[in-house]
Amino acid sequence: MTKSDRWTGPLLLLFSLYVCVESTRLGLGGISRPGPGFFPFYAGLVLAFLALAQSLLSLLIDLEKEEAWENWLSILFVVLAMFAFALFLDFLGFVVTAALFLGSLLRGVERRGWLFSLAVALLIALASYLVFGRWLQAQLPSGILGI
């Protein structure tokens, strides 16, 4: 953990409390009939728990010296990859765009091997599609391949 973890934990805790308060104003509903604030409220609770854990751990664990962001090309690569994701999402579809995005980040930023990058990118893209597209029935762009 680094010194910045001592600040991000409390800031995330404040943000999560704000999300929870605003979600209750929208109406939580119930488990069988959730309201518009149901999901944000419980997401805020999870975030509050994680922020509290981060805050406590940063107090208990010896802090390491922070590393400077020296590799600006990697930062630029990530930003450009996010723009490319948004640009090609409708045209190529969710699964293909997500796989290309994740694969390019694993290969270009993390410097992983081709086989690992391809396998992990496809696995995560397909798992995301199954969860959001099939199970939760979210409308994901299908693109030119219809996937």
The per-residue pLDDT for 9 is 86
Token pair 């069988």 is found at: 32
Cα distance between residue 46 and residue 40, in whole Å: 10
Q: Is residue 102 packed enough to be buried (19+ CB in 10 Å), middle (13-18) or exposed (0-12)?
A: buried
pTM: 0.60
The per-residue pLDDT for 72 is 79
Sorted by where each begins, the domain ranges of the chain are 4-60, 72-135
DSSP calls for 56-112 = HHHHHSPPBPPPP---HHHHHHHHHHHHHHHHHHHHH-HHHHHHHHHHHHHHHTS--
pLDDT in tens, the chain (147 residues): 666 777 888 899 999 999 999 999 988 888 788 888 889 999 999 999 999 998 888 888 776 665 555 677 888 889 999 999 999 999 999 999 999 999 999 998 888 899 999 999 999 999 999 988 888 888 888 888 776
